[in-house]
């Protein structure tokens, strides 16, 4: 009989005998593998944290006691144990369970997170709130998936360690973030062990032991085992003890005989405590253990083989962007690439293979990545920072203060611009047009297709100042490719189709949908022009105002937030040029956080498909009124912005 099916809350879990917990963990793994193979998701990290999650809910009094999951993409077991088992098959689907923790979804989710490194700071905020409110509950933060490479984690540990309040941080150490961990912290132990004093002592001791008759070789082996013990037990604690934490561990994170008594003990300890737990990413599913990078965040796959369920019919925009960058790097040895623990995600593995000494993976440290790039650029190197749009938000001040104020030639390749589907609220690239276009010296581009993308990357590496190229998640359009990338004139758009009634001015992935809508409108007697803006900054003011003066309606289209985005830039241009003869409409994402769901479904929901653009123009021309209440956050169809009525 299934143990998991009897658990609808942690109260039920506590009725399970300790000797049944391994069997329960196996059931949980089966459930996770089954769901993720069907819908995609974060598999490897979740398989590695099963026993730890079970042990925490077994011993804690949640939701009164609170668990903060850093990044929270490792919270699938947590969801299964906290009343969401029956809906687990809806994971990451439109209207279904989020792939991350979400306070709106469950009282057991103490804090929302989708970016690594926020956990310790958030959890310590809960600790101090507990103290202010004179409460007695326990606060636990599970830090894993490489968050120790994030500077914010160290800031949080530094603050918490100095305050002396009861607080348990669990380091879920699986030796990986998304890509292989890099940097000084991951090298801390090996560096200490190989220090000059220790090296000399080890050599002299080994020589001495080797001279002991009969047992010398055995003593040397014993000394080596003692060395490993020191490396694994004594030295890690030094870092955390210096930060004010009592260190415990490391312990086997898959052995309940170790986990339960140890966690029980550290929960009784006073002050800040760090428990070091060793886990194996992908445990229980052989393909994920062999390739934890691919199974970190994977699409649906064939469970029996671990291969993707569907093969892409065309290369992704990411792949096309990196192909262009590699071609340019062959010609220009000054080009280097920078990633923040996302080498595979941003497609830089090919660049790394061909130019290993010109690829810098700085770990989960976006702020450092940008300022590091500024330093490189200041000395004549051509740094290219490849980063998801949602992660570049974390380095906004560095873009402004360290790059743009000095007009340094740093290239930002902004992947996952726009709607990114199932990862949802924290991962949609909705804001980059808005947060970059108002930065002085910054050039902001987005291509209509993959051929224009390669030309924009050439434009960016040739430009003598800060510049960004934004491209979407997903497969490319399959357009013919020019033989070689060539630079585009900065700030010049193109008129794809002329017209006298309506002008649709679009940018990026929205251009081809706009062109399809315009063709249909023209067939129905509404003469429609289409402008591919190419640049959100600087805008092609001459082209836009010229087209606007000969039509009655101007509609802008972007896959980004309407407030302060590309459409706002066009309206500002029309205002400055005193173009007063037109009625305008801005199409884009509304002023709320967009829910998870397939890209096509979300584009349809927010009117960014060819059909949606066509209908918006028809309504505008016919004088039809559409409503949208920004103040209450309720759209004209009556749906709540987060899809909360569906528990998304």
Task: Identify whether the C-beta of residue 429 lies closer than 8 Å to the C-beta of residue 402.
Answer: no
For tokens 């585009």, name the residue: 488
The 3-class secondary structure across 425-454, one letter per residue, is CCCCECCHHHHHHCCCCCEEECCCCHHHHH
For residue 633, what are the β-bridge partners? none
Task: Identify whether the C-beta of residue 512 lies closer than 8 Å to the C-beta of residue 450.
Answer: no
Structure tokens at 372: 């590091």
For tokens 């992660």, name the residue: 391
- A 10 A CB-CB count for 471 gives 30
Q: Which of 245-249, 326-330, 520-524, 532-536 has the lowest mean pLDDT?
A: 245-249
DSSP-derived letter for residue 378 is: H
Omega cis (within 30) before 63: yes
Calculate ∠ Cα 392-142-10, nearest 5°.
Answer: 125
Q: Which CATH architecture has domain 317-470?
A: 3-Layer(aba) Sandwich (3.40)
Closest CA to 471 of 437, 506, 445: 445
In sign, the C-alpha dihedral spanning 72, 74, 75, 76 is positive
Distance between CA atoms of residues 117 and 335, nearest Å: 29
Q: Three-state DSSP class for 514?
A: helix
Distance between CA atoms of residues 406 and 107, nearest Å: 47
Note the pLDDT tens digit of each residue in 396-425. Answer: 999 999 999 999 999 999 999 999 988 888
Residue 360's region, left for phi above 0, alpha for psi from -120 to 50, else beta, is beta
Closest CA to 316 of 450, 509, 474: 474
User: Where in the chain do CATH 3.40.50.920 domains reside?
Assistant: 494-646
Closest CA to 242 of 268, 266, 274, 276: 274
610 half-sphere exposure, CB direction, 13 A CA radius? 11
Closest CA to 523 of 556, 499, 540: 499
DSSP-derived letter for residue 316 is: B
Structure tokens at 343: 């080498």
Distance between CA atoms of residues 537 and 595, nearest Å: 28
Is residue 134 flagged as an active site residue? no
Q: Is 85 exposed, middle or buried (0-12, 13-18, 19+ CB in 10 A)?
A: middle
What is residue 175's predicted lDDT score, i.e. its pLDDT?
67
Structure tokens at 14: 């506590």
The 3-class secondary structure across 255-306, one letter per residue, is CHHHHHHHHHHHHHCCCEEEEEEECCCCCCCHHHHHCCCCCCCECCECCCCC
Per-residue confidence band for 114, with pLDDT thresholds at 50, 70 and 90: confident
Closest CA to 505 of 545, 449, 561, 557: 557
Is residue 281 flagged as an active site residue? yes
Task: Identify whether the C-beta of residue 108 lies closer than 8 Å to the C-beta of residue 101.
Answer: no
Average confidence score pLDDT of the chain: 87
Closest CA to 163 of 111, 127, 120: 127
Distance between CA atoms of residues 67 and 109, nearest Å: 8
Distance between CA atoms of residues 492 and 541, nearest Å: 9
Note the pLDDT tens digit of each residue in 551-610. Answer: 999 999 999 999 999 999 999 999 999 998 899 999 999 999 999 989 999 999 999 999
Say whether pLDDT at 190 is over 90: no
Among the listed residues 382, 394, 537, 605, the single catalytic one is 394
What is residue 196's predicted lDDT score, i.e. its pLDDT?
44
Per-residue confidence band for 395, with pLDDT thresholds at 50, 70 and 90: very high
Arithmetic mean of pLDDT, 63-87:
93
251: which residues sit within 8 A by CB, 6+ positions away? Answer: 258, 259, 262, 275, 276, 277, 278
CATH superfamily label, 4-174+244-290: Thiamin diphosphate (ThDP)-binding fold, Pyr/PP domains (3.40.50.970)
Q: Three-state DSSP class for 207?
A: helix
- What totals of helices (H) and strands (E) does the chain contain, helices first? 25, 19
Distance between CA atoms of residues 419 and 73, nearest Å: 19
Distance between CA atoms of residues 399 and 411, nearest Å: 11
Q: If you classify domain 494-646 with CATH, what class do you get?
A: alpha beta
Among the listed residues 366, 452, 558, 595, the single catalytic one is 366
Distance between CA atoms of residues 72 and 52, nearest Å: 14
What is residue 630's predicted lDDT score, i.e. its pLDDT?
31
User: Where in the chain do CATH 3.40.50.970 domains reside?
Assistant: 4-174+244-290, 317-470
CA dihedral 215, 216, 219, 224 (to 10 degrees): -150
Note the pLDDT tens digit of each residue in 423-481. Answer: 888 899 999 999 999 999 999 999 999 999 999 999 999 999 999 999 999 999 999 99
Among the listed residues 281, 358, 537, 605, the single catalytic one is 281
What does pTM read for this prediction? 0.84
Going by their DSSP bridges, the two strands 382-388 and 411-415 should be labelled as parallel
What is residue 197's predicted lDDT score, i.e. its pLDDT?
40
């Amino acid at each position: 009989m299934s143990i998991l099916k009897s658990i609808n809350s942690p109260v039920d879990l506590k009725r399970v005998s300790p000797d049944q917990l391994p069997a329960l963990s196996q059931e949980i793994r089966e459930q996770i593998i089954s769901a993720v193979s069907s819908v995609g998701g974060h598999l490897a990290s979740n398989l590695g944290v099963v026993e730890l999650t079970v042990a925490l809910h077994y011993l804690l009094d949640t939701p009164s006691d609170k668990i903060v999951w850093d990044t929270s993409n490792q919270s699938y077991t947590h969801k299964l144990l906290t009343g969401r088992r029956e809906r687990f098959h809806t994971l990451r689907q439109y209207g279904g369970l989020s792939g991350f923790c979400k306070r709106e979804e469950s009282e057991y989710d103490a804090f929302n997170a989708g970016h690594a490194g926020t956990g310790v700071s958030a959890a310590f905020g809960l600790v101090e709130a507990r103290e202010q409110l004179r409460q007695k509950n326990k606060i636990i933060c599970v830090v894993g998936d490489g968050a120790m490479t994030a500077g914010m984690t160290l800031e949080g540990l530094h603050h918490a360690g100095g305050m002396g309040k009861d607080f348990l941080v669990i380091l879920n150490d699986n030796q990986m973030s998304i890509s292989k961990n890099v940097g000084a912290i991951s090298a801390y132990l090996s560096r200490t062990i190989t220090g000059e004093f220790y090296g000399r002592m080890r050599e002299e001791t080994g020589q001495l032991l080797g001279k002991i008759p009969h047992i010398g070789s055995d003593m040397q082996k014993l000394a080596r085992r003692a060395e490993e013990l020191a490396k694994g037990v004594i030295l890690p604690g030094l870092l955390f003890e210096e930060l004010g934490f009592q260190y415990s561990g490391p312990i086997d994170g898959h052995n309940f005989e170790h986990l339960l008594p140890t966690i029980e003990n550290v929960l009784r300890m006073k002050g800040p405590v760090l428990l070091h737990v060793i886990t194996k990413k992908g445990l229980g599913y052989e393909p994920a253990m062999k390739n934890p990078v691919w199974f970190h965040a994977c699409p649906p796959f064939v469970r029996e083989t671990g291969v993707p369920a569907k093969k892409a019919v065309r290369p992704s925009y990411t792949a096309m962007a990196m192909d262009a960058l590699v071609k340019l790097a062959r010609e220009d040895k000054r080009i280097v690439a920078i990633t923040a623990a996302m080498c595979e995600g941003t497609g830089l593995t090919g660049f790394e293979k061909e130019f290993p000494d010109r690829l810098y993976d700085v770990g989960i440290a976006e702020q450092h990545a940008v300022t590091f790039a500024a330093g490189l650029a200041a000395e004549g190197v051509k740094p290219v920072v490849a980063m998801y749009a949602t992660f570049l938000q974390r380095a906004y001040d560095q873009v402004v203060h360290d790059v743009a104020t000095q007009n340094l030639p740093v290239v930002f390749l902004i992947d996952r611009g726009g709607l990114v589907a199932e990862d949802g609220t924290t991962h949609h690239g909705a804001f980059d047009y808005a947060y970059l276009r108002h930065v002085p010296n910054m050039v902001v581009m987005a291509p209509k297709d993959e051929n224009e993308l390669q030309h924009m990357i050439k434009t960016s590496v040739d430009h003598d100042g800060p510049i960004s190229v934004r491209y979407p998640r997903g497969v490319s359009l399959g357009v013919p490719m020019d033989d070689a990338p060539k630079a585009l004139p900065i700030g010049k758009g193109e008129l794809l189709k002329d017209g006298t009634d309506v002008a649709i001015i679009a940018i990026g992935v929205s251009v081809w949908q706009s062109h399809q809508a315009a063709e249909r409108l023209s067939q129905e007697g509404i003469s429609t022009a289409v402008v591919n803006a190419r640049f959100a900054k600087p805008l092609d003011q001459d082209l836009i105002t010229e087209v606007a003066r000969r039509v009655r309606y101007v509609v802008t289209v972007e896959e980004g937030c309407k407030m302060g985005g590309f459409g706002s830039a066009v309206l500002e241009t029309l205002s400055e040029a005193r173009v007063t003869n037109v009625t305008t409409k801005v199409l884009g994402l509304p002023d709320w956080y967009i829910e998870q769901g397939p890209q096509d479904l979300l584009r349809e929901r927010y009117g960014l498909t060819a059909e949606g653009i066509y209908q918006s123009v028809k309504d505008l021309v016919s004088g039809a009124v559409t409503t949208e209440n920004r103040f209450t956050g309720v759209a004209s169809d009556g749906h709540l912005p987060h899809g909360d009525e569906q528990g998304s």
